[in-house]
Structure 1
Amino acid sequence: MEDRSLLENINRHITLTENECALFLSLLKKKKIPRKNKLLTQGQLCDSIYFVDCGALRAFYLDVSGKESTIMFAVKDWWVTDMYCFINILPAMLTIEAIEESTVYQLKKNDLEKLYQTVPQFERFFRILMQNAYIREQLRVVQNLSMTAEERYDIFVKKYPEVANKVKQKQIASYLGITAEFLSMIKRKKL
């Protein structure tokens, strides 16, 4: 079954009937995103959430001076969007770009609302996703406040081993809140 990884992701938290699975899958749109192409662009209306079937993406904020700050990475089996803008159906604050050729499943906000009405278990599923995302972000903030850049880099490499080898050093540095030069020093020290 082509959608197996997506359904396995769902089945970790809720159990669906065949009809509920069919309804859910009917609301999704599969998209292939070539490397360096954008799935969502800052300023574009954010009305979708995406499940990463394969590949890797990066969400970043671009400030008025053109400086990019990486907010998160999304790899196989992760969900990604600009959550604040998705929930409120606003223009995106973030850009989401494919680090490598990727395949995602798109779920529109209005279809998610239909799912909540038709299959109430999906409220539980997405609540769990939101809780986990909130916990992840809270831990990241605490780590940024309490740990050295080297410790944060070590955690990053352990948490995202497949990403660490796929992305540019400056993207990892911006995620960690340090300069690419400082990250180079950290990496040299570890050799």
Structure 2
Amino acid sequence: MYEALFDYITRYSGQTLTEKDQEIIRGAMEPKKLRKKQYFLEEGKVCKYTGFILKGAMRQFSVDDNGTEHILQLTIENWWVVDRQSFMNQTPSRYFIEAWEDTELLLLPRPQLDTILAIPAINAMFWQMSENNHIASQKRLDDTISLNAVSRFENFQKQYPEIMQRFPLHQIASYLGIARETLSRIRRPDAH
């Protein structure tokens, strides 16, 4: 069960975990299963865990005053899911995180964070993840303000083909900041 996580840590850190490191991780993280449509986090609650997805797909979103959902993140296997602000500051979340499919995760409770950050490979992994997250967020923001809807959709399609297969178009449109009708038009073969 933990092998996918250990492989991920090794890949992102460039370091090998010792047996002792693996034992500390097993002791700090706990397996959890969520049914499709079950919440990992609800708006107004504190995010007490970060989760590594072993199997399944999840989405993070907010709901505006008109009841419209705004997708912040779409995640699948070998991705981490968390409301970072709520998790780190232990403050109420503005977001919902929901299992889009039946999902299996390894949960890291907030009090265990310092314990596993003492492992050099984990520390290196979190540093690399943070850098990658910042770069991806900056690129997403730049794409949103500088590219048209067609280019944003085509870039997303190339970069995340597996997510395209797992989530419906209206959620991908929301993630990209594109109206559903515009995305439908883009996807029609005669639209280009």
In structure 1, the residue matched to 2:146 is 146
Tell me the residue number matched to 1:8. 7
Q: Distance in 2 between matches of 1:166 and 1:23?
A: 33
Separation in structure 2 between the aligned mates of residue 51 and residue 37 of structure 1, nearest angstrom: 16
Find the residue that maps to 1:42 and give its secondary structure.
coil
Determine the C-alpha separation between the residues in 2 that align with 1:114 and 1:92. Answer: 24
Report what 2:73 is aligned to: 72
Q: Return the letter of the residue paired with 1:125.
A: M
Counterpart residue number, 1:63: 64
Aligned partner of residue 46 in structure 1, secondary structure: coil
The answer for the alignment partner of 1:97 in structure 2 is 98
Q: In structure 2, what is the equivalent of residue 123 of structure 1?
A: 123
By how many angstroms is 1:127 displaced?
Answer: 1.4
Could you tell me which residue of structure 2 aligns to residue 160 of structure 1?
160
Q: CA deviation at 1:190?
A: 5.9
Distance 1:166 1:77 in 2: 14
Distance in 1, matches of 2:121 and 2:168, equals: 39
Q: Map Cα deviations across residues 129-174 of structure 1 (whole Å, 9 max, x no partner).
A: 1111111111100111111111111111122212212222221111
TM-score computed with the length of structure 2 as normaliser: 0.92
Distance 2:169 2:120 in 1: 43
Determine what percentage of the aligned residue pairs are the same residue: 32
Contact 2:6–2:17 at 8 Å: present in 1 too? no
Q: How far is 1:121 from its partner?
A: 4.0
Distance 1:141 1:159 in 2: 16
Question: Counterpart of 1:31?
Answer: 32
Distance apart, 1:178 and its partner CA: 1.4
Give 1:165's aligned amino acid.
Q
> 2-side partners of 1:190 and 1:15: how far apart?
51
Query: Runs of 5+ in structure 2 lacking a partner?
Result: none
Q: Does 1:185 find its partner at 2:181?
A: no
Alpha-carbon shift at residue 120 of structure 1 (Å) = 4.3
Normalising by structure 1, report the TM-score. 0.93
Relative distance call for 1:61 and 1:16 in structure 2 (3 A) is same
Write out the 4+ residue segments of structure 1 that deviate beyond 3 Å after TM superposition.
none
2:132 aligned partner? 132
What does the per-residue CA deviation read over 1:84-119, in whole Å, with 9 as the maximum and x for residues that have no partner? 1111111112111111111111101110112224x2
Instruction: Name the SS for the 1:72 alignment partner.
Output: strand
Aligned partners of 1:44, 1:69: CA distance in 2, in Å? 18
Return 5+ residue gaps in structure 1 as ranges: none
